[in-house]
Amino acid sequence: MKKIEHLGIAVKDLNQASIIYEQLLGITSYKTEEVESEQVITAFFKVGESKIELLAALSDDSAIAKFIEKKGEGIHHIAFDVEDIYSEMKKLKEEGFILLNEEPKKGADHKLICFVHPKSTHGVLIELCQEIK
Ligand code: CMX
């Protein structure tokens, strides 16, 4: 794992939350992107080397809708930048971590991603992400 790539924050209303985060961080979002496969719309903010990803649900089936219903708005996941997602997934699986995808899938912001179940990481949803070059 190279570094924390971003923190994902689940929000109810992306526009309202973006305004607040623009005020807080003193910058504007550099990208808004829908990820159809995850049923989310995202807004990204760059803070130094790190990023904040605001996530809002596009449907009631979305993981974000379920998360907000159960826990309310807040930090949803921590994403780590990895050099080689395939070898990282293989290593974590062998070590007993519960991966939520058998294969990496395409996520927002030009990334291949894989999630690790919060039950195997003391209650924190972890995302592995590798830049698609
Ligand atoms: N962080 C910590 N715990 C979480 C969580 C999260 N983000 N989401 C769910 N949980 C907890 C639930 O509260 C529940 O805990 P308890 O058993 O103590 O009540 C437990 O995980 C439920 O696990 P589950 O029944 O296996 O599954 P859920 O239907 O609640 O789904 C999860 C949880 C993580 C498997 C699902 O949300 C998932 O597959 N996530 C990966 C995909 C995703 O999150 N996509 C949206 C972001 C996409 C993007 O970043 O672009």
Rounded to an integer, what distance in angstroms lies between the CA atom of residue 9 and that of residue 78?
9
Does the Cβ of 76 fall within 6 Å of ligand 1?
Answer: yes
Does the Cβ of 117 fall within 6 Å of ligand 1?
Answer: yes
78: CA distance to ligand 1 center in Å?
A: 13
| Category of 61 on φ-ψ map: left (φ > 0), alpha (ψ -120 to 50) or beta | alpha
Span 36-75, pLDDT tens digits: 989 999 999 999 989 999 999 999 999 999 999 999 999 9
- Identify which of 73, 77, 105, 120 to mutate to test ligand 1's pocket (most ligand atoms within 8 A of the CB): 77
Model's pTM, two decimal places?
A: 0.96
